[in-house]
Amino acid sequence: MEKTTISATKYGMTGKFRAKPGEAEKLAAILLEASRQVSVVKGIRLYAVGRDPKDENVIHVMEIWDSKEDHDQSLTLPETRALISQAMPLIDGKPEGVALEMVGGLGVD
């Protein structure tokens, strides 16, 4: 294996949202709308929405940004805040998420 110098390059997030019963489709639609909105925002690399086939109420989001600052900035945009307001009442409990320092890989480098 070639020598690898590992250093954090980008900012990542994995998010897990549990929708209230019957609301998963609507929540996924809001997150897909969010993905379209952020696609033109500075620093966005990935905003991918998936569902867990083993749990119909669970939606996952994977995000990669050039920096934490770019991510945080996106949360201040009025259109982002509007979507968050739409999504919150559909979510059961607290979203789970992990902020990551992306060290590399396909889609990061």
Contact indicator for 83, 26 with CB cutoff of 8 Å = no
Q: What's the min distance (Å) between Cβ of 76 and a second copy?
A: 19
Residues 19, 23, 38, 71: which binds a second copy (CB under 8 A)? 38
Report the distance separating Cα 49 and Cα 51, nearest Å.
7
Helix (H, G, I), strand (E, B) or coil at 37: helix
Binding of a second copy at residue 99 (CB under 8 A)? yes
Binding of a second copy at residue 90 (CB under 8 A)? no
Binding of a second copy at residue 75 (CB under 8 A)? no
Which residues would be at the binding site for a second copy (CB under 8 A)?
1-2, 4, 6, 8, 12, 14, 25, 28-33, 35-36, 38-39, 44-53, 60-62, 64, 86, 98-108
